[in-house]
Amino acid sequence: HIDSLNQPVYTFYPEWNQGNKKKITLRHILTHTSGLQNVRMATKEIYPSPDVVKLALSAELEQEPGTQFSYNNKAVNLLAGIFEKASGKSMDQYLEQELFHPMGIKKYRWSKDDAGNPYAMSGLQLYAKDIAKFGRLVLNNGVWEGHQLVSSDYIEKMAGKNTDGEFGLLWRKLPESSTFSLTEEDLQRLKEKGVSEKYIQKLKPYLNTEIDGSNIQKVYIEIFGNPEVLQREFIDKGVKKIFSSEIGDIAGYYGDGYLGQYLIILPRTRIVI
């Protein structure tokens, strides 16, 4: 139904065939590089919206498409509309037919907006045993009980096996090791962006200190307390990266849900968690 990941979104929504929006491709949506205006907290903008597809279509551009990573749930929700435009079926109906039914997934619930669009960013409730089936599907390169449900080529692209960065196509990469550090140059850059002195002082104890990746989340919580502070004090001021980082070899891939759901795939040991 779709030519390639490089197909422009305007081929589905002609109103985008103008300005820089005509440059936005499916790949940009899947890699969080669309450049669309973004509010990080979904509860503030997305959930109150009666039509999340229209919300994404009406968003202004903040950056040139393809130039900057910005985790963007609003843009991702546009995938629900693209599914329907391309296949003639709603995203949940299409996936039920093409994936859920062949994989024996019979009970699930998918949250929708008032217009009937299933959220592409979230809202799919599954039993743990059925989430694990998706891990097996990826681990086996798209093959389920002898049937190629997803092409092996797409599985490789989705995992981001041959690309740089933290993400593949909506999947996070899991490195064997990672370390984070904060230099005087990093701190000066934050000051120049307008980060308030309160948070500059909170960051100072971490100057020239190596932080193991397993502890970075704890450090973020100590500094920011909640995502709204991170949005207001850093992201809204144009800060894309706070700490410098060194990432080791990729050991696996994972998806994580806002309320604590995880699906982790470790190909070398063939483990799905």
Per-residue pLDDT reduced to its tens digit, 21-51: 999 999 999 999 999 998 877 788 999 999 9
The bridge status of strand 250-256 relative to strand 124-125 is: unpaired
Per the CB < 8 A criterion, the answer to whether 54 and 46 are in contact is no
What pLDDT is stored for residue 44 in this prediction? 85
Residues in the chain: 273
Mean pLDDT value of segment 194-221 = 90
What pLDDT is stored for residue 110 in this prediction? 95
Q: Give the Cα separation of 22 and 214 in Å (integer).
A: 40
In DSSP terms, which residues pair with 207 in a beta bridge?
182
pLDDT of residue 231 exceeding 90, the answer is no
Q: Give the Cα separation of 70 and 91 in Å (integer).
A: 24
What pLDDT is stored for residue 248 in this prediction? 87
- Tens of pLDDT along 89-137? 999 999 999 999 999 999 999 999 999 999 999 999 999 999 999 999 9
Nearest residue to 135 (alpha-carbon basis) of 249, 31, 254: 254
The full DSSP string for 38-99 is --S-HHHHTTT-S-HHHHHHTPPB-S-TTS-----HHHHTHHHHHHHHHHSS-HHHHHIIII
Q: Which two tokens stand for residue 267?
A: 């190909």
Residue 78 pLDDT class (50, 70, 90 cuts): very high
pLDDT of residue 240 exceeding 90, the answer is no
pLDDT of residue 260 exceeding 80, the answer is no
Residue 61 pLDDT class (50, 70, 90 cuts): very high
Q: Give the Cα separation of 96 and 130 in Å (integer).
A: 13
Q: Which two tokens stand for residue 239?
A: 């800060």
Q: Which two tokens stand for residue 33?
A: 């590089």
Mean pLDDT value of segment 174-188 = 91
Helix (H, G, I), strand (E, B) or coil at 152: helix
27, 31, 34, 39: CA torsion to nearest 10: 150
User: pTM for the complete prediction?
Assistant: 0.84
The full DSSP string for 175-201 is ES-EEEEB-HHHHHHHHHHT--HHHHH
- Count other Cβ atoms within 10 Å, centred on residue 210: 10
Mean pLDDT value of segment 212-225 = 86
Buried b (16+ CB within 10 A) or exposed e, 225-251: eeeeebbebbbeeeeeebbeeebeeeb
Place of tokens 């197909």: 7
pLDDT of residue 165 exceeding 90, the answer is no
pLDDT of residue 140 exceeding 90, the answer is yes
What pLDDT is stored for residue 256 in this prediction? 86
